[in-house]
Amino acid sequence: MMKILIAPNALKGSLSASQTGAIIADFLKSKFPGHLLQVIPIADGGDGTCELLGYNLGLESHTCWTLDALGRSMVGSLAWDSDNHRAYLDVSTASGIGKLTKEEKLPKSTSTFGTGLLIKEAIRIGAKEIVLGLGGSATIDLGLGILQGLGFHFLSQNGRSITPYSDQILNQLSHIQVPIPFPKIKFKFLCDVRNHLLGPQGAVTVFGPQKGLKPSEVQNFEDDLYSALQRVYAKANVDFEDLAGFGAAGGIAAGLSAFFDTEIEFGSSFFFDQVGITQEVKNADLVITAEGRYDSQSMEGKACYELLKICRQYNKPSVLISSGNEGSKAGFTQFVQLPDLNFQHADWKNEAKQNLLHSLDTIRL
């Protein structure tokens, strides 16, 4: 009997990490019965990281009403660790780009306000620390929406309140009123990119077009973002240093770091420590992982590559399932190539599942 650890990342754009793990496990049970299977879906700071952490850690799911990136009502959720007074939640839950159509991607008016409401709820139930996954955001608002959700008030030059979801929050911000009492909370940000907030590799230039900015709007938008940033840090009376990771999720970590105790975690290290992945690898005879497309960026802290390093450390054979062909040169014991998915097909989600099942037929145990 072989002990097999199934630890896939999401097949981005098609199947979640949990869905992928379940499909692989069901296939192995059918084709290779009798083996002991352990399924631990993994993530590296991208979309859904904190949801997966809550699942793997067996935490309570706490739900409440909130608003999406455009201000529409929705039910949001967070994972609640009552023993440590810690809440895990993803920006993508309420402020995610995956919930928007192409026409709804509007960086000037999309807001993280709904994420702020979820954080406020976490504080209400007793949270002292927020672990916030930054992947998959629809916004470039410097986290000002979150601050509004926590009770901050932003005023224009003439003293008028700037409401959440206003398309003038960056270029009209002149005065900031902090909430009393001030929220006693600290943040740990999880992200899978090391981009700084400003400049050619920053939040606006790199990620703005993905979130709906036209090329002609990029420079003016960054100018407005910088102007708001100066107001925020002047109010907090601290100096701004553009740190790696501040470009993630439209500058959320940059904005919140002006007022709160914050820390940034990159890649999969925090996730792996939380779920004890190293011990699970040591206990396994074979490790199977997956990623939508393994490429050069995967070596910069992505979950599959970090898992490969652990497998090498303990001489454990490993299987990578991925599209493209770069994974064949990565050093895994086996590489299983997925066909490229045609997102133009109406039934592309089922196609993704069938592609995975078909590819699994080539695994050798």
- Residue 342, pLDDT > 70, answer no
Q: What confidence category does residue 345 fall into, taking pLDDT thresholds of 50, 70 and 90?
A: low
Q: What is the pLDDT of residues 294-327, one digit of tens each?
A: 887 787 778 999 999 999 999 999 999 999 888 8
* pLDDT tens per residue across span 133-168: 999 999 999 999 999 999 999 999 999 999 999 999
Q: What is the model's pLDDT at position 365?
A: 85
Q: How far apart are CA 75 and CA 212, in angstroms?
A: 25
Query: What pLDDT was estimated at residue 14?
Result: 78
According to the model, what pLDDT value does residue 98 have?
Answer: 86
Give the pLDDT of residue 344.
66
Q: What is the pLDDT of residue 296?
A: 77
Higher per-residue confidence, 343 vs 15? 15
**In this model, does residue 346 exceed pLDDT 70?**
no
Q: The pTM is what?
A: 0.91
What pLDDT score does 1 carry? 86
Contact (CB, 8 A) for 12 and 135: no
Q: Which residue in this structure is represented by tokens 């309420």?
A: 94
Q: What is the pLDDT of residues 18-58, one digit of tens each?
A: 999 999 999 999 999 999 999 999 999 888 999 999 999 99
> Residues 175-227: pLDDT tens digits?
999 999 999 999 999 998 899 999 999 999 999 999 999 999 999 999 999 99
Percent of the chain residues topping a pLDDT of 90? 83
Cβ-contact 196, 226 below 8 angstroms: no
- Determine the Cα angle at 30 with ends 29 and 34, to 5°: 45
* pLDDT, tens digit (0-9, with 9 covering 90-100), for 57-76: 999 999 999 999 999 999 99
pLDDT of residue 13: 67
Instruction: Note the pLDDT of residue 349.
Output: 75
H or E element at residue 53? helix 49-57
Task: Go through the domains of the chain in sequence order and give each one's CATH number.
Answer: 3-43+271-360 (3.40.50.10350), 49-266 (3.90.1510.10)
pLDDT, tens digit, 9 for 90 and up, residues 225-279: 999 999 999 999 999 999 999 999 999 999 999 999 999 999 899 999 999 999 9
Q: What is the pLDDT of residue 262?
A: 98
